[in-house]
Structure 1
Amino acid sequence: MPSHVSLIAALALSGSAPVAAQPQVVDDVPAVTLRAPTPLPPEAGTPTGPSATAGATAGAGAGAGTIASYDAVGYASWYGDGLEGQPTASGAPFANARITAAHRALPLGSHAEVTSLDTGRTILVRITDRGPAVAGREIDLSTGAARLLGVADRPLAAVRVRSMTPSLADAAALDRGEAASPRLDTPDAVLRALRRQLPAVTPATRPPPPRATPMAAPSPRPGQGLLVQVAAFSSEPRAIEVARSFGGEVEPAGAIWRVRVGPFATLAEAQRTRDAAVARGYGDASILLQPSGAR
């Protein structure tokens, strides 16, 4: 690269005087371009989507596909209370303390880095489930992942989600239920640029406010269980997707499909599941008595 002195000399020889320096406005917020996700086949976004898809590359040592171009900002919620041991879309039982997440498009078994746009902290998660079921949310974190990221004290958090191929050691750590190696925090300047690209929070994205008055708890008879009705949908595929995410069942009722979970032997168990449903955006979730004769 020519030096500053040689550049001035060259301009002098050419007969052109150096142009006076113009004042410049310094903006310390860098331009950050998020990569558009690679188009996926329709089945990639279903609750039972494959572990790898066309347009995905195999993760080194991860044993699953990774969408190499996925990079998006949005809002993360978290889930887990009352769902311990319930089957996930990947087939593995849900483990609340593990560092996992639910996503609509990333292949099951793949990995992603999730960055808090408030603190810059970044963690590595494994995608084991489909979700979020609420429109306008980017990813659902397990409680363990939310705590590791430092967002378990709020219902929604602004995040960046990037697909990536983990090292063998990091993939093995997540498989054992441990956290991957620490990531470098994202600089404040980059966080500001990313926050500028966040979508607006809509009523559908925002968690519902708590009920003004507590619900009256049903009183089951001996041997009678309790059910949690998560929500009712006019779309059967949507109901099936939500039911799978909760480990529940779909019950048709005329032109609607009800998602119900249970039965539960105790009110405390049913209440935990209902609270988890409310935390995930289903503010009308309710506890019901199991119909007589039902199993």
Structure 2
Amino acid sequence: MRSAANVTAMAATLLLAACGGADARVSGPSPALTETQMRGPAGDYPMVLGAPFVVDGVTYTPADTMNYDSVGYAQMADGAGVSGSHRTLPLPSYVEVTSLESGRTILVRLTERGPMQGSDLIALSPGAWTQLGLPAGSRMPVRVRRTNPPETERTQLRAGGQVPARMDTPPGLLTALKRKLGLAVTPVAAVVPASGPAPVAPVVKPEPAPPAKAKVAEAPVPKPTPAPKPKPAPTPSPTPAPTLAPTPAPTPKPTPAPAPKPAPAAQAAVSSAGLYVQAGAYSDKARAETVAKTISGSVSQAGRVWRVRTGPHKDRGQADAALAKVRAAGYADARVVTAP
């Protein structure tokens, strides 16, 4: 009898999950773990996917998508700590959520299926909503990107705490993400402070014309007085000119041929060694290492920041191909740089 009752309860649970109602939530891992185990590494395993389900006529199929990166809207829902609900990513898993309004980015642990109504991309707990700096009672545009944080950060989120916010998303990437979501983007140059005075066009002062050169009065030139014509001298009888022996022309010295100019050395081919693709520079080393794992890159310190790069690449073509892959992974500001 007891076994039959258990089977009946399990069947009812599966039927409720298949209906896709507001209470059809999948969470994991198993609640059989102790509180200590839930806060340790075992609390993240095994990850649960679950069967496809329907919300408002749309079928959602959970999948273990490692490079998940999407934009949509977030809503606030119940939940502990800095957690969230998602319709398709494994449970539990970790995502970076970015506000498309401010660029602020935080780490969130996904623990449940949802939202179970509407078309919003993710539901955030009050703690996550507050850390992201979103206004209460609203739907806000966000970016959700799956990540693989270090165990220290996982432990903090499993215990109900929060980890420091990530580096803010740069304005250029925010603009691209807003366009991807279909939001209107206002050019920065068109924004005029409401309280400030209207800008006054600068008055261009005409350049003074160069001063005219003063004309110098020319003194009248006196007319020359004609000199008296000399009397012609008597013409002497012509004396025959002596015949001179022809002077031999000097033998020209051979002019040495000009030394040939050395041919210009062939321009040394620009070495393409030392080409890298830099995804970004981070003040947090752990964050930089996380990004490096995502793009199979390396971390190097430069002053007070940690650079994440791939390479070196043997030529520009290989570097451009690597740049395209890094940008496709979500790092739109990545660029090709040379060592160091």
- Please, what TM-score do these two structures have when normalized by structure 1? 0.42
- Report the structure number with the largest CA radius of gyration: 2
Which structure has more relative contact order (CA 8 Å, sep 6+)? It is 1
- Please, what TM-score do these two structures have when normalized by structure 2? 0.37
